[in-house]
Amino acid sequence: MLLVAFVTLLVAVALQPLTSVVALDVHLLRQLAAKHNVTSILVFGDSSVDPGNNNFIKTEMKGNFPPYGENFINHKPTGRLCDGLLAPDYIAEAMGYPPIPAFLDPTLTQADLTRGASFASAGSGYDDLTANISNVWSFTTQANYFLHYKIHLTKLVGPIESSKMINNAIFLMSMGSNDFLQNYLVDFTRQKQFTVEQYIEFLSHRMLYDAKMLHRLGAKRLVVVGVPPMGCMPLIKYLRGQKTCVDQLNQIAFSFNSKIIKNLELLQSKFGLKTIYVDVYSAIQEAIKNPKKFGFAEASLGCCGTGTYEYGETCKDMQVCKDPTKYVFWDAVHPTQRMYQIIVKKAIASISEEFLV
């Protein structure tokens, strides 16, 4: 049974609108974090958690221009492919910290280093080929930059304290969609090597390998976000000429998520790695099927442009909807800030300190 512990409560409370966060809950979360010396959040993955590393990489996979960041601090586009904050940013907020910085951000301070960083790169995946196609950071490259982070941290606080901080950190991985949408279903390299079922198995092994690598590098607590219902993305429906979700792609996502869950159970039982699985698939699917329940008015189109195909460069300087909080999708691929809030709220099943022991 996967632990749904402190960090899920941490994220869920943090992702509520500020007016609905009960002060006592935030106080409790910070008490738990302080008790177990959880001071840093270390993030790996794709556009769902990249706060702007791609701004400093020669790639077209960027979001450092309007209308991205419309609801961010000072309405500033930072590279986040969203209208506002990403889930890791809200975790940091609940702990009393600023948004999680990109490791390549030249304004990164010593104080930022002690609170963690994101090594994520929009367009990346578990399969290194996926990153190569878009000329972004593969997970392997992200892990190498994490080693640079450890060197900087050691110089700052010393080797003993640095090791403690890494061991007590919350590690978060969020990727997988691009492996299918930008790699397997578009590029013929993997199609010639694997059937869909074989590729899902291949990715499962890669995900497990990546998690083990983080464990070897010091991870004790790992949060893994599952793959969303890819067939419900506005872009995919537009390309397939459908108004409803593409079941085939959703089945692929569901199958891969099942593999992730089994991997996390293995990591707990065999390696003692404490894990949490965040079920983004069910959260988005439920919001699409019953949007009014969550306060949404539009679950089929993105807020940017026509809402059917625009994302990244094609969303640049486009008109957007009046109220993004009424939309499930910000662009034709990525969720709105509001949807990220709901995703994490749905992850709560119980409250426990086991994750931090």
**Domains of the chain with CATH codes:** 38-281 (3.40.50.1110)
pTM of the model: 0.90
- Give CA–CA dist 2/38, Å, rounded: 20
Confidence of residue 13 (pLDDT cuts 50, 70, 90): very low
Q: Of the listed 40, 46, 47, 279, which one is catalytic?
A: 47
- On the question of pLDDT at 4 being above 60, the answer is no
Which two three-digit tokens encode residue 124?
A: 């990346």
Give the helix ranges, DSSP H, for 120-232.
128-134, 139-157, 159-168, 177-178, 188-193, 196-216
* pLDDT value at 33 more than 70: no
Q: Which pLDDT value is given to residue 97?
A: 82
Mean per-residue pLDDT of the chain: 88
* Residue 331 annotated in active site: yes
The predicted-structure confidence for 290-329, as pLDDT tens digits, reads as follows 999 999 999 999 999 999 999 999 999 999 999 999 999 9
Task: Give tens-digit pLDDT for 141-173.
Answer: 999 999 999 999 999 999 999 999 999 999 999
Say yes or no to pLDDT of 344 above 60.
yes
180-216 burial, b if ≥16 CB within 10 A, otherwise e?
A: bbbbbbeeeebeeeeebeebbebbbebbbebbbebbe
Asked if 342 contacts 89 with a C-beta cutoff of 8 angstroms, the reply is no
pLDDT band for 87, please (50, 70, 90 cuts): confident
Average pLDDT, integer, range 131-144 = 97
Q: Which of 105, 124, 210, 334 is catalytic?
A: 334
Question: Is residue 193 predicted with pLDDT exceeding 50?
Answer: yes
pLDDT in tens, 95-127: 778 899 999 999 999 989 999 999 999 999 999
12 has pLDDT over 60 = no
47 is catalytic: yes
Residue 176, pLDDT > 60, answer: yes
pLDDT of residue 88: 83
The shares of helix, strand and coil residues in the chain, as percent rounded to the nearest 5, are 50, 10, 40
Q: Which residue has the higher pLDDT, 38 or 274?
A: 274
Alpha-carbon gap, residue 38 to 94, rounded angstroms: 12
What's the pLDDT score for residue 218?
96
Instruction: Give the lowest-confidence range in 7-21, 30-44, 75-89.
Output: 7-21
Task: Over range 269-297, report the average pLDDT.
Answer: 94
In contact, 333 and 235? CB cutoff 8 Å: yes
* Residues 202-227 pLDDT 10s: 999 999 999 999 999 999 999 999 99
pLDDT for residue 71 is more than 80: yes
Q: Which residues contact 281 (CB under 8 A, 6 or more apart)?
A: 226, 227, 228, 229, 253, 254, 257
pLDDT of residue 3: 38
- Is the pLDDT score of 21 beyond 70? no
In this predicted structure, the answer to whether residue 16 has a pLDDT above a threshold of 70 is no
Q: With pLDDT > 70 as the criterion, what percentage of the chain qualifies? A: 86
User: Which tops the pLDDT comparison, 32 or 88?
Assistant: 88
pLDDT at 37 over 90: no
